[in-house]
């Protein structure tokens, strides 16, 4: 699941100028989760992976909300200029 989010966020970052930290956090989540599962006594990394993934999702949601609220303002400004 995190790999799919990573690919989506990379594409989103390239096309829509989304925040660069979101794909980085998704990649860190994958790495931390993988190491947490492979390395003995590294369960803390598995838990950290979930926290990092959550932070990335908050970044996605924040950008979506900011974009959604900015769009009506831009449309109103364009109509006022006409």
Tell me how far apart the alpha carbons of residues 12 and 6 are, in angstroms, rounded to a whole number: 10
Domain range holding 46?
2-81
Q: How does pLDDT run across 41-76, given as a tens digit for each residue?
A: 888 998 999 999 999 999 989 988 888 887 776 666
The number of residues making up the chain comes to 82
Question: What pTM did the predictor assign?
Answer: 0.75
Q: Is 13 exposed, middle or buried (0-12, 13-18, 19+ CB in 10 A)?
A: middle
Q: Distances from the Cα of 62 to the Cαs of 37, 55, 57, 71, 75, in angstroms?
A: 30, 10, 9, 14, 21
Out of 3-7, 12-16, 21-25, 76-80, the most confident range is 21-25
Tell me how far apart the alpha carbons of residues 18 and 59 are, in angstroms, rounded to a whole number: 9
Number of domains present in the structure of the chain: 1
The rounded Cα 30 to chain-centroid distance in angstroms is 13
pLDDT band per the 50, 70, 90 thresholds, residue 7: confident
């Amino acid at each position: 699941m995190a790999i799919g989010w990573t690919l989506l966020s990379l594409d989103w970052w390239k096309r829509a100028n989304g925040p660069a930290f979101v794909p980085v956090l998704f990649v860190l989540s994958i790495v931390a989760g993988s190491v947490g599962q492979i390395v003995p006594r590294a369960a803390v990394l598995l838990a950290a992976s979930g926290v990092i993934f959550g932070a990335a999702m908050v970044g996605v949601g924040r950008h979506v909300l900011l974009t959604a609220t900015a769009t009506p303002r831009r449309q109103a400004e364009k109509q006022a200029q006409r």
